[in-house]
Amino acid sequence: AVVNLDNSVVDLETLQALYENRAQSDELEKIEKHSKASKEKENAKSLDKPEQFLYELSLIPNFSERVFCILFQSTFSESICSIRRKLELLQKLCETLKNASGVMQVLGLVLAFGNYMNGGNRTRGQADGFGLDILPKLKDVKSSDNSRSLLSYIVSYYLRNFDEDAGKEQCIFPLPDPQDLFQASQMKFEDFQKDLRKMKKDLRVCETEAAKVYQLSLEEHLQPFKDSMEQF
């Protein structure tokens, strides 16, 4: 199955487990040494099943190199797509926050009401803008009878005066989807760079491991691995 790239016999999840649990060179050396010594002795203790299994895995031509390449190839496109999706979401949100009329209207109301409430204050009245850190505090500013918050008043004012479809099925939320905003707020360019650096490094390793297979495998064990990897 490994030589023929047949995932129907051994799926990728199983291959991953086999790769992670394969015998390291020092372990394999001990297993082979014991196996060789056993043949030369009568009544020698045979290998236990786990060691026997590791030994048989090592008999698959270039098992370690092949499986590394197969696993990397299987996850490469998905990893690239995942990063692309996140960046596209981030880009879309940035454009919406900069250009969408609904966002501008809501933020305009926040500024207008803030200026009205600070009208008699020389240092804060009629400001040209406000810090984004005040937005989470809008829900904490209450009316004199404590029955509603500034946030709920802004929402109802927007629905009454700006949204022609308020209360109808076609009514659209004027701001970006909160879940999208939350996801974007968790993104870090350092993480993207780290992921891409790892993929680049693994791609180089994949090229090196594939070259070892081409060089060391018998002719009958080269295909379909060689064609698949060269195309990848």
Residue-wise pLDDT for 112-127, tens only, equals: 999 888 887 777 778 8
Position 43 scores a pLDDT of 65
Nearest to 184 by CA among 119, 101, 118, 92: 92
Which residues are within 8 A (CB) of 92 and not within 5 positions of it... i.e. 6 or more apart?
A: 180
- Return the bridge partners of 115, or none: none
pTM of the entire predicted model? 0.67
- Mind listing the pLDDT tens digit for each residue in 180-230? 999 999 999 999 999 999 999 999 999 999 999 999 888 988 999 999 999
| Residue 146 falls in which region: left (phi positive, over 0), alpha (psi -120 to 50) or beta | left
Omega before 61 within 30 of 0, i.e. cis? no
Number of Cβ within a 10 Å radius of residue 70:
22
The answer to whether the beta carbons of residues 54 and 28 sit under 8 Å apart is: yes
Domain range annotation of the chain: 2-87+190-231, 101-175
Which residues are within 8 A (CB) of 89 and not within 5 positions of it... i.e. 6 or more apart?
A: 180, 183, 184
- Mind listing the pLDDT tens digit for each residue in 41-55? 766 677 788 888 888
